Amino acid sequence: MHDLSQAHTSTDHTAAPNDRATVLVVDFGAQYAQLIARRVRELSVYSEIVPNRISANEIAERAPAAIILSGGPASVHVEGAPQLDPAIFDLGVPILGICYGAQLIAQQLGGVVGRGMAGEYGRTQLERTGASLILPDDAPDEHECWMSHFDGITELPDGFVATATSAGAPVAVLENDERKIYGVQFHPEVVHSPHGMGALARFLHERADIAPDWAMSSVIDEQVALIREQVGDARVICGLSGGVDSSVAAALVHKAIGAQLTCIYVDTGLMRKNESEQVVETFRRNLGIELIHADEGASFFEALAGVTEPEAKRKAIGERFIRVFEKHTGGLTEAKFLVQGTLYPDLIESGGADGQASVIKSHHNVGGLPDDMELELIEPLRDLFKDEVRALGTELGLPDEMVWRQPFPGPGLGVRIIGEVTPERVALLQDADLIVREELKNAGLEREIWQSYAALLADVRSVGVMGDERTYGNPVVIRAVTSEDAMTADWARIPYETLEVMSQRIINEVDGVNRVVYDITSKPPGTIEWE
């Protein structure tokens, strides 16, 4: 991918060969740009996200089968609002604008977008006003959709027709089939627009004439061929965290080059209970991957002594990770490549879509790379979303306990302890966290919950009564959320009976805890983690 490539990245267009149809999603700052790209892939069409500053020449070089303009937070009337290179409209590539993207089409092609209108937010009734080439034929003339806009299109550009309206959007759908340019004011990519996927499918398969031929099953063969070509007979190392991303990346590279791969698992002492043992066993015995187990818990606790501020913890953990990784890669002088489990959202969120080098997070995979480390990166998952990576892991034979492992922060339990991190506090939290996970499994809720854990308020004490005696212990917070991509999250409605068992077990089985609370804060305004 031209706009997302790093100076040292060795696998461009990893999931989309040049002969496969690609849809470019132009990002205008929408919180749903990634979701649009995912929905396109769900319709068996490959997609990539590109910045709104992309030029017509750059588009022409990439020869996409279609373009989708995302929504965005700005008003088209605000000075400096993002625009699209007008020459893109003349390339003959089918275009669909969503929300802000639809308004931009209207404004840039000679229509009028009204200012200061009533706006619509949330579920809205859409009314079909004419035969539409975008709205599904099976959608009722009046049906529900999801709107989120203030301005609205009031006058169409020449050559366009309006085929739907709503109370706050005089033109809710605009179409010019001759130029293959279309726009919808609503958000077809969200589940609250029940006929939205049908509208996207009509645009992709009928208006843009794209065959639904992209499938996850082809990614393995494509990646194996690319990795073998790039690596040759060189040695490759992988910084293994035990998480889904790095595990799937390691398994995929191992399938391609076998014994040429060495994985390094840095055990920080901050993992969940029994997790390190499971990671080591899975990779050594089940997958036969050479693994260096760097048991460095003591050095991490030393680095964290006296540190209480969350960001300072992250920096201390990240710095120690780099030093440990350097120590254990010192003997692999013949290694030329480093595998990372970077995902597509990582690239987008770190500035990759702007054509800049992607930023390696201080807590992601290998914890950041020293400036003088001369290794080329292999990032075989860099075009995939989390759900696609899970599917790939299953195809590669990884066990469910790894494929469906919940997202886990790079600094581990170090940022789930509010206060200083000590071995005793980590052991206490490991026990409490294990109970939360066990009871969610017993209740059959594992797959429904995006992330769940226990946090320890180590700097807080509360009075309790246990066995007719006064206690003065630490509270434990249970946190569980549902989400699709972690951009937003809602607190999970765990049955009271399950919460009651969790609370009883934690207080009875974990020494030093005398109170359990359940966090019912959504994101926003809160975050998923408690740091």
Distance CA 47, CA 41 (A): 6
Element (H, E) at 470: strand 469-482
Residue 455's nearest CA partner among 498, 410, 493, 506 is 506
Distance CA 366, CA 325 (A): 7
529 catalytically annotated: no
Query: What is each CA distance from 82 to 35, 39, 379, 410, in whole angstroms?
Result: 20, 24, 31, 34
Residue recorded with tokens 């969940």: 272
Which residue is catalytic, options 99, 145, 238, 263?
99
List, in order, residues 6 or more apart from 197 with CB less than 8 Å away.
39, 42, 43, 188
61 catalytically annotated: no
CA 402, 506, 482, 308 torsion-angle sign: negative
Distance CA 385, CA 25 (A): 15
Half-sphere exposure at residue 348, Cβ-oriented, CA atoms within 13 angstroms? 24
Share of the chain residues as helix, strand and coil, in percent rounded to the nearest 5: 35, 25, 45
Distance CA 251, CA 396 (A): 7
145 catalytically annotated: no
List, in order, residues 6 or more apart from 349 with CB less than 8 Å away.
none
Which residue is catalytic, options 145, 149, 175, 187?
187
Catalytic residues: 99, 187, 189
